[in-house]
Structure 1
Amino acid sequence: MDAYVPQRKGVVRLRAAALSGRWPAWLLVIAWMLLLACLPWWVGLPLLLALAAIQVAQLPRLQRYSGMFRRALRWGLAGLLVASYLAFDIAFDHRALGLTLAMLAALAGFSLLVLLESWQDRKPQRNAAVAAASPEWSELALAPIGPADMLIELQVPHWIVLDGSANAPDGMSMLHANSCAMDGGIRVDHIEPQVAMAPGRHWLVWPMTAWRGVVLYDRLHGKLYRLRGWQLYGWHGDEAWLSRGEDQPPLAMSHVLGQDQPED
């Protein structure tokens, strides 16, 4: 199934600015724009066309990077327009003519980009089986109105740096920079040297090396979960809420693990 519809409905509001740690992503896109502005236009244009082809293909493996590809196309197009203006100015030796051609290229380029993003947003995300199982409009019209949406406030995770000092959680010992051991003989490998703890101290979360995902440890039951592609977004009570990217809403950990699904 292409679309994974959350079972929990509500409005998610982060209690503090959770995106403050994502500023390096903006530095990367600005550097990408400056790179295309410095390169000749006939080098930057194939790169942008390749990114557009990836967006059109919508490969399942690259779906999690769709937001990054969108930003790369937007900012890369701005850099390409700067390079095109410089090329027109040199080729025609007329600043007004070069600026006019660059504006026409900007109009055409951004129009195509808007059409591409609109097509992506409007493309159906559900397969035929899910659509067939959906209720008819008449059933929805006669269905009783449910309760109002619940406002869910997420607490920003507090990351503890594991630098060998005494600030590690109880029952946890660092073996080396990317590995630790828990009480009961459980070993956690390939992690970044930092950990977040749930408000109730029931769960521990480590980011995987290179932030490729998260490792969750249930201290009460001694279970370990590795979720590649997910990042810790916040806490609601003693439950972690996870996200796959900036353009996707966070989901409760029980939903990601499938624990809120009814048993057959």
Structure 2
Amino acid sequence: MRLDPAHPPRRWPSWLPAALWLLLLAALPWWLGLPLLLACAGMLLWRAQAWPWSPPALRRALRWGLPGWLLAALRADGLDALGWLMTLLAALVGFSLLVLLENWLDRARSRAAAQAAQSDDQAEWPQLALRPVAPPANIIELDPVCWQDLRAGALADPLGGTLAWQGDALALPGGGSVAGVEPRCAHAADGRWLALPLRHQRGVLLLDRRRGERYRLRGWHLAGWHAGQPWLARDDEHAPLAIAHVLGRDVDD
């Protein structure tokens, strides 16, 4: 015989054992049901000391068992006015003690969870203190700028030919000139970049001779060279930036 997976086996309702427990305590004499409730409360207290959690079954036994015991007490006292009064007083005291007990258990559980979390944090603190908070630093050392005076005579060009100052402009090898600059220059080690200060200290002119492009950067000055690339700075108080960061685009081939 095979079970049909479309029809799972029927389960008993979760409230049925609690209802049977209530009826059992209501049928037993009150002097026999009271020790059972006290035993459940004692087991809850013992479990709270041994473990930071309390079994839900014991709590459910107290919640459903107390009304059953009250019915047994009412049945023993009689259904007169005095019996109802005594039962109501017992219900008031019993449910108050039950609420206090559950609040104490919940607070003990919260305290144990907080202590466990604190101990975990203390255990992880040495590892967190030794863990790096940033990627490894990459120290960049810039090569100093060596300015050469163009008025002292023609300068040898690393790419071939000579650089000469003619009138108020720089004459480039192979034709072309650069005006509006001071008569001094600096070039990268491979000769790709040629730097000339703008007049009146307004900035710097960079020539990318490999691409044939010119960049007039006002408010910047040449701070140094690194890996054949010029690094620029606003002033001495600000850190230098690579030419790619200043232009906002990549200048590599």
Which bracket does the TM-score occupy, shorter chain normalised? 0.3 to 0.5
TM-score scaled by length of structure 2: 0.43
Q: Which has the larger radius of gyration?
A: 2
